[in-house]
Amino acid sequence: MIHVENLTRYYGDLCAVDQINLDIRKGEILGLLGPNGAGKTTTLRMLTGFLRPSSGSIRVKDFSIDEDSLEIKKLLGYLPESAPLYHDMLVYDYLDYVADIRGLDRERKLSRIRRLADLCGLNEVMHQSIGELSKGFRQRVGLAHAMMDDPEILVMDEPTSGLDPNQIVEIRDIIRQIGKEKTVILSTHILSEAEAACDRIVIINQGRIVADGSTETLKQSAGGEYIINICLENADLEAAKGELHSIDGVAEVVPVDKEPGEKGDILHMRLTCRSPSDLRGEIYRKIRRTDWILLEFYQQKKTLEHVFRELTREN
């Protein structure tokens, strides 16, 4: 549905987006992740026609951003990080005003406002001033604005920024509901939200795409580092650290706090392994040659946060 080829954007001598290639399928919820300054917002602004690329091309369906910018904008709904709302207007009056700007006739306007009030959970605040609403409700009003003329594609820049945990869950549920019918592209810093809401994740660092795939695919493919947790009884800390650290591929051995109520001779340790192979067999054989009692032994599943840190750290 969206084809991006060699997309590049300079601000003076600074290259904010560096030859990005991306295809976004119809009906997909795509999360754009990256550290501050990675180029996420610049990419979204070019996709929505608010910024012209320095080079490269964007095609949405059969339209080119260079030749058919207005046609592409008709297909899009855009929610920037800070929704541009009139705080002195009532919610209903504001949505009515947005519908008039979008050219909806009276019958369709009323139907659409009712639909968006239900979808975005606005029924209880429709006759309140926008300035009196919490940030979570203001974000919902901004989302209703972006969805007013029923766009095929919804683009959101940091839709959960500054919200409390309950509001984040509510916005995430709305996004998933919208994603059943629309193509959704969102940027976020909240990795758990991207993992919960998105079908596919693209990680950008220093203007380039460094990873692209489902969360499970990214966890399996990024780097050769993984964590193994063990719990030992009758083991001396320094002796255990020395023995385990001697295994080729074990990069770090760190003691972990005991569980509340555990007896004093229990030792929890976290092993950071940097090896393409599974070191659990070698670790087990090393422990078996001692008089230590092995109580726990498991490999910690790599999280999206771990993958993100691996791919975006400076070195």
Which of 30-34, 114-118, 297-301 is predicted with the least confidence, judged by mean pLDDT? 297-301
Q: Is pLDDT above 60 for 58?
A: yes
Which of 177-181, 220-224, 279-283 is predicted with the least confidence, judged by mean pLDDT? 220-224
Domain locations in the chain as residue ranges: 2-219, 222-312
71-92 tens-digit pLDDT: 999 899 999 888 889 999 999 9
- pLDDT, average across residues 66-75: 90
- pLDDT, average across residues 30-40: 90
| Alpha-carbon distance values, 49 to 15, 45, 74 (Å) | 18, 6, 11
105-147 tens-digit pLDDT: 988 999 999 999 999 999 999 999 999 999 889 999 999 999 9
237/245 Cα distance (integer angstroms)? 12
Asked if 138 contacts 111 with a C-beta cutoff of 8 angstroms, the reply is: no
| Alpha-carbon distance values, 237 to 243, 267, 269, 272, 287 (Å) | 10, 7, 9, 16, 13
| Alpha-carbon distance values, 41 to 51, 103, 187, 200 (Å) | 10, 28, 8, 18
Confidence band for 36, pLDDT divided at 50, 70 and 90:
confident
pTM of the complete model: 0.76
- 10 Å CB burial of residue 3 (0-12, 13-18, 19+) is middle
Asked if 93 contacts 128 with a C-beta cutoff of 8 angstroms, the reply is: no
**What is the CATH number that goes with domain 2-219?**
3.40.50.300
Confidence band for 222, pLDDT divided at 50, 70 and 90:
low
Confidence band for 3, pLDDT divided at 50, 70 and 90:
very high
Architecture of domain 222-312: 2-Layer Sandwich (3.30)
199/213 Cα distance (integer angstroms)? 9
